Structure 1
Amino acid sequence: MRSKIVKYIFKKEMIDILRDKKTLFMMIVLPIILYPVLIVGMTQVMTMTMNSMNEKDIKISFNTTPDKDLVNIINENKPKEEKKDGKLKIVDVGNYEEALEEQKIDAYIKIIKDEKIQNYKIYVNSSKENSNIASNKIEDVLNEYKRDKIENKLEQENMNVKETLEPISFETVDTAKNEEIAGYFLGQILPFILIIGVLLGAIYPAIDVMAGEKERGTLETLFTLPITNLELVIGKYMAVSFCAIVTAVLNVLSILLTMVFIATSGGLASQLGVDGFNFGQLAIPIFITLICICLFSMVVSAISMCVCSLAKSFKDAQNYITPVMLLVMIPSYVSMIPNIKLNRMTATIPVVNISLLIKSVLTFKADLNLIVLVMISNLAFVILSVILLSKMFNSEEILFGNNKSFSFLEKRCDIKKGTIPSVSDGVILYAVGLVLLIYVGTLVQIKFKIIGIGLTQIMIIALPVLFALYIKSDLKKIFRINIPSFKSIIGSILLWMGGFIIVQVITQGLLYLFPQNMEVVEALNNTLFIKDKFLMNLFIIAVMPAICEEIFFRGFIFTSFNRSKKTVKVAIICSGILFGFMHMDFLRIVPTSILGILFAYSVYKSGSILTSMIMHFLNNGLIVFMGHYPDNKLIKMSSFIELNFNESYITKLAILLAISAVLVLLGIVFLKEKKNKLEAYTD
């Protein structure tokens, strides 16, 4: 690779990027004005709004004439600390509900007289602006009235008021420094804001250097030059990364300058509780944050370029990049979740590691080993993304192919051979199924419980079957309805046995790392099974999913993704991952995805969906059996899978994993047919 050529490509791309006003706005203008407006502007607006609300008089009404002492306290209620707070005013109304709705009064007090005590009920309309202020002021007045009554009673009994009402005194002392308080506050919201800022700074340059180049018709010209694809990729990548890094630096500087402004503004600093702030304490955290954000910018740049390379025009690229934005934005919220901290596991998860690292360094709780692990993992993601990008640049089909847009619900005319669903058909049908499962399936399962699970399974199988009939497909061909050989059945069972052991170990590991999920598992088991109805549970939880879910995933989804011999591996992995995500449970996503991949592999090798149905039935059937017969000897023998990390356990775990590896290898050997039926379908 020639550095001089890369430099020229970089220079050319930067000139093109800087010509785009939208990119300049997202890269420079937005970071500079965003944080002062958000932090300073919104704080001042909220302060002025609250002050104006506090200055308003609060109108109240009673159902009966209140006590004279209470009226005197209301009339003598003066603003505290010379603030222009509003006063309480007593007015008469008829229907208090209408008066509250029409804001003729802000609160209505109902006095319920008893023989010994008086009860006061305060009615407010929380949908109106002054309801909270009215409620707080009335409670203060009633507390003062109550205290006066108590003091008068004690004085009549010749008792010491202070000793009786205040036998002890206490005071809470906050030992946190202003820097720590500010770091904690920034650690909650800053990661999300920075990640979004970097994302916006990388997206528009990526769209311009990829889809924009295609739309202008200049990408073909670049490929005619005496340069290699790697030189072209690196030059473009450096330009996009540079823009993203500049955006990241401007974001950090803008936040820092905003904090300086707040700290030097007496009134605003006191309102936010950051007066006397020492910025020297945050120098190292901000420096580490800057380095991490720059690495993250490089990852986002490569991913954005990969996605934009699939688009033919600027408009298409904007549509393609939207899912990427969602996938990045959602994990960045993790900094706002109190119980999730940076550890060895979260330090390797993209986006999550950056968000938690920024939070940890700003709250002065960062571990040097974890910081290094985050940086290494992000550097690895950068290398992998660049490798993927270079591979995509070597594909003329990706760069200059037709790139047909998604087609759905379109009839195909190839009736003789039978229409094979496209990738877009599979993706959209999966999305439709996921939406129906969330909005319809959940409600049905809540209302009908285990019967609802059966109804959900019927919905799952109906979607692919009806769509396949609509596009006039060969159902036997799409859903791989063939009789497998005895050897394939044995191989599938062995493959499932090995996979089941691995899945159980992974599940126990996740429970060890996240013990709070044990309650979710127990609640799920309680709702799944009907006591003393083994056959019914077996049919709904094992038989129906083995048929319905396999038709959906290993039938329609797998077929739609498997367009040729080159895409078989992608189809196996994607159908398995989509199968895992369909279960929508953090604890089950990874284990279920692994099982889904094994199911798809058995279908691919055997050419029959019946093998995956057998595997699915055995997996769910064993779970039903374990739920009904927990005292069975075979069930008790599996208890040593639970993690405790002593020497005895590690030895057992090694033996267990060795057995599972042998079973998986035997399954692969048995499934290896001389002629692959599935390849014959796709060729």
Structure 2
Amino acid sequence: MSQSLPVGKSPFVQLLLVVAYAAAGLFIFQFFSLAIVFAISGLEFEQFMTDMSNPIGQPEFKNYMLFVQFLPSLVSFIVIPLLFIYKNEGRPVFSDLKFNELNIPSVFIAVGLTICLIIVDSVVIEWNMNIQFPEPFHTWASDKEEAMKVLTEYLTDFSSPMYFLAAFVTIAIVPAIGEELLFRGLIQKYLWFITKNPHVAIWLTAIFFSAFHIQFFGFVPRMLLGAFFGYLYYFSGNLIYAMLGHFVNNGLTVLMLYLYQNNWVSYDIENTDSIPLETVVIFAIIGIGLFVLYAKQFKNRLAYE
């Protein structure tokens, strides 16, 4: 399939607009979600801000923190991109989601590819975690990484099945749909219009995708994931496959944590022990084969040509 730009629209301006709208949505609805939580908390403002800035050790604040994560992401990554497609591009909002073109073999291949990449990426994760950046940047990045780790552990302490479902939606489903709509569906497309090279567009988007998360000790593995999602979309011309890969990557982690916390599985996915190199090599070989097979499934359906 071929992508077309609406008449009179500059891809560079469109790129700036969609990024600006998404950033503004994050900023505005972060405050809006905090205002909602403050209204229902019943706390004095000073006490509320103190507790929200350091919620660790307060289980009752997990629902509030999860909501503050959920609402801005829902608006910025799903609502705003869909409105942008409708208003600025004048096309059906779900035109990149081709449910009628899904086929079972390709779905299984995409899932298998994602699992292979998760295992292979573990080597890159370990390498990236041990990078020594120049000071004082290294100390700042380490402190931020540690704070993010503590917050993640706090939010993924699943105290009930209902909380697990809410966390699963917030951590796995909303990012899988929204981040793919924004990054692969819009940003990657406009970068292709600008560069005229799909591979440059995919990797530039992947770099931007990783930088957006502001976690430098996971920058490279997240960039590889972003490029992988980009190629899932590029070869199929169907954004659902990129969303599926993103969902498997996030959802599998959340699900395994929940199962481990309930003693239903013995494997701790947060275990930092290295995966044996021979296992990584085997999954890398399988992944390469699956990737070639995936690309062959979609002859003449490239997202950009």
Q: Give the alignment's TM-score, normalised by structure 1.
A: 0.34
2:90 aligned residue (473, 480, 493): 473
Percent sequence identity over matched residues?
A: 22
The residue type paired with residue 664 of structure 1 is: G
Distance apart, 1:633 and its partner CA:
3.8
Question: Is the alpha carbon distance of 1:612 and 1:472 closer, same or farther for their aligned partners in structure 2, counting shifts above 3 Å?
Answer: closer
Question: Is the alpha carbon distance of 1:540 and 1:672 closer, same or farther for their aligned partners in structure 2, counting shifts above 3 Å?
Answer: same
Question: Is the alpha carbon distance of 1:578 and 1:662 closer, same or farther for their aligned partners in structure 2, counting shifts above 3 Å?
Answer: same
Matches within 5 A, 1:586-601: 586-601=216-231
CA contact (8 A) 1:572 1:601 kept: yes
Say yes or no: does 1:461 pair with 2:92.
Answer: no
**Which residue of 1 is the match for residue 279 of structure 2?**
656
Say yes or no: does 1:494 pair with 2:78.
Answer: no
CA contact (8 A) 1:550 1:609 kept: yes
Distance apart, 1:655 and its partner CA:
1.0
Distance apart, 1:442 and its partner CA:
4.6
CA contact (8 A) 1:450 1:527 kept: yes
* Structure showing greater Rg: 1
Matches within 5 A, 1:209-220: none
**Which residue of 2 is the match for residue 642 of structure 1?**
273
CA contact (8 A) 2:128 2:219 kept: no
**Which residue of 2 is the match for residue 602 of structure 1?**
232
How far, CA to CA, are the matches of 2:178 and 2:187 in structure 1? 13
How far, CA to CA, are the matches of 1:442 and 1:636 in structure 2? 32
Question: Is the alpha carbon distance of 1:521 and 1:505 closer, same or farther for their aligned partners in structure 2, counting shifts above 3 Å?
Answer: farther
Distance apart, 1:526 and its partner CA:
0.8
**Which residue of 1 is the match for residue 55 of structure 2?**
none
The residue type paired with residue 225 of structure 2 is: L
How far, CA to CA, are the matches of 1:584 and 1:564 in structure 2? 25
Residues 213-232 of structure 1 deviation map (CA, whole Å, 9 limit, x = unaligned): xxxxxxxxxxxxxxxxxxxx
How far, CA to CA, are the matches of 2:191 and 2:292 in structure 1? 25
**Which residue of 2 is the match for residue 520 of structure 1?**
148
How far, CA to CA, are the matches of 1:564 and 1:676 in structure 2? 22
Query: For 1:546, what is the secondary structure of its paired residue?
Result: helix
Question: Is the alpha carbon distance of 1:473 and 1:429 closer, same or farther for their aligned partners in structure 2, counting shifts above 3 Å?
Answer: same
CA RMSD in angstroms comes to 3.1
The residue type paired with residue 28 of structure 2 is: V
**Which residue of 1 is the match for residue 44 of structure 2?**
none
How many residues are treated as equivalent by the alignment?
Answer: 256
CA contact (8 A) 2:128 2:218 kept: no
Distance apart, 1:520 and its partner CA:
3.3
The residue type paired with residue 292 of structure 2 is: V
**Which residue of 2 is the match for residue 670 of structure 1?**
293
Matches within 5 A, 1:470-619: 470-475=87-92, 479-482=96-99, 483-513=101-131, 517-518=145-146, 520-527=148-155, 530-532=158-160, 533-563=163-193, 566-619=196-249
The residue type paired with residue 450 of structure 1 is: L
Question: Is the alpha carbon distance of 1:571 and 1:577 closer, same or farther for their aligned partners in structure 2, counting shifts above 3 Å?
Answer: same
Question: Is the alpha carbon distance of 1:473 and 1:559 closer, same or farther for their aligned partners in structure 2, counting shifts above 3 Å?
Answer: farther
How far, CA to CA, are the matches of 2:228 and 2:180 in structure 1? 12
CA contact (8 A) 1:554 1:603 kept: yes
Say yes or no: does 1:440 pair with 2:58.
Answer: no
Residues 483-536 of structure 1 deviation map (CA, whole Å, 9 limit, x = unaligned): 333332222112211221233333333444577644531322213555212222
Q: Give the alignment's TM-score, normalised by structure 2.
A: 0.71
How far, CA to CA, are the matches of 2:185 and 2:229 in structure 1? 11
Question: Is the alpha carbon distance of 1:434 and 1:530 closer, same or farther for their aligned partners in structure 2, counting shifts above 3 Å?
Answer: farther
Query: For 2:267, what is the secondary structure of its paired residue?
Result: helix
CA contact (8 A) 1:575 1:597 kept: yes
Question: Is the alpha carbon distance of 1:440 and 1:587 closer, same or farther for their aligned partners in structure 2, counting shifts above 3 Å?
Answer: farther
Query: For 2:197, what is the secondary structure of its paired residue?
Result: helix
Of structures 1 and 2, the one with the larger relative CO (CA 8 A, separation 6+) is 2
CA contact (8 A) 2:156 2:254 kept: no
Question: Is the alpha carbon distance of 1:538 and 1:583 closer, same or farther for their aligned partners in structure 2, counting shifts above 3 Å?
Answer: same
The residue type paired with residue 73 of structure 2 is: Q
Matches within 5 A, 1:47-66: none
Structure 1: state its 5+ residue gaps.
1-410, 644-651
CA contact (8 A) 1:494 1:666 kept: no
Question: Is the alpha carbon distance of 1:566 and 1:553 closer, same or farther for their aligned partners in structure 2, counting shifts above 3 Å?
Answer: same
The residue type paired with residue 465 of structure 1 is: L
Query: For 1:629, what is the secondary structure of its paired residue?
Result: helix
The residue type paired with residue 531 of structure 1 is: S
Distance apart, 1:565 and its partner CA:
9.9
Query: For 1:475, what is the secondary structure of its paired residue?
Result: coil
1:450 aligned residue (56, 66, 69): 66
How far, CA to CA, are the matches of 1:474 and 1:637 in structure 2? 41
CA contact (8 A) 1:464 1:552 kept: yes
The residue type paired with residue 84 of structure 2 is: F
